[in-house]
Structure 1
Amino acid sequence: MFSEEKIKSAFKDLDQKNAKALNDLIIGRGISKTRLPEKGGVYIFWWNQSKAFEEKLKGCTYQVKAKKSHEVDKINIKFTQDWIEKATVGNKVCLYVGKTTNLRDRVTKHLKLTKENIWVGHTRNSGKKPNTVSQMRIGLETVFDKDMLVEIKENVSVSWAVMDEYSEAVNRFFLEDKMISNNYPLFNIDVER
């Protein structure tokens, strides 16, 4: 059931100041069940900002595959200084916002920790993604044109708000939408279906 109060409360949990470094959540080749709950909620991936990251993004072209009905195969998206500034909160850059019924499972799927190379059989910057569940990693590896798993573990953090009840599905939807509109995440980009 919709609850503006729950959305406002969860909004605070998603602040970049509450983000946990991925390295602190990973044990071996997976995310710890005790450190990231297996509950529903909304999450945000943050890049722990550095000038080198910002410089790499400026003017970078990120391509997404166009719909078959479009006249072009790919759509070029440029990260402008204005966009990077809007995506920057405190000392972190918002990479991706999502909602899920299982935070630990969903974050794990974004990272694909057991796969050094997720691009087997695909070409970076082709606009075609190697899968549909690793948007954050795919985005970073496309921008940097290399495997980024080590850098992701060292430079990315995640904040989350638990909204686990089935009745809170609508709250997750609205909170995700609110966080996307507030934080301008870099990789919540897709062509309209």
Structure 2
Amino acid sequence: MTANSEPSTCTAFAGPRRIASGPLAEVALAVKRAVEGGEAAPVLVFDDGTSRPVEIDLRGSEAEMLARLAPAVPEVPAPAAPRGPGRPRLGVVAREVTLLPRHWDWLSQQPGGASVTLRRLVEEARRGGEGRDRLRLAQEAAYRFMAAMAGDLPGFEEASRALFAHDRDRFDALNGAWPADIRDHARRLAAAAFAVSRPA
């Protein structure tokens, strides 16, 4: 687990049983104690936001393990290079954009010029696609967890289809017989997707 990808919260499972949920350090301690206590089932840890697996190096003492989880101290930045185009103090960074001549012609005719117009277009696209992006990310997180923990369980494929079809009742009915901790975690993740209105 690298410091820059540390999840805010995560959840650990030993086989189908949830053994811990919360900040990474707390979950890591619970995992270490479970493994050292003889837990026989495979232990998997998931980022609560993305359901990506979280790797924890359990070697050494608890203090040594926690020290490895601590965010790295940021390096002192090197002396600033000569400034190029852009407005760094405002967060504006100059980068190359490749467009066809007709695009450049259209941009040059817009009020404020090409940069202002491109920034406006990007902001409009971000606002317009925000709901779709939230829905996609929530569905992907739920599916990623389900594929890892419920991929061999009855109803997995149909439940996955119900998730992406935005059919909460069918989703809940299809995962009802799954082990309780897996079912409940999958439902919690899927709830974020079902809470977003499906784009028309």
Please tell me the TM-score bracket, short chain as reference: under 0.3
Which structure carries more relative contact order (alpha carbon 8 Å, separation 6+)? 1
Report which of the two has the higher share of strand: 1
Bigger Rg, which one: 2
Normalised by the length of structure 2, the TM-score is 0.20
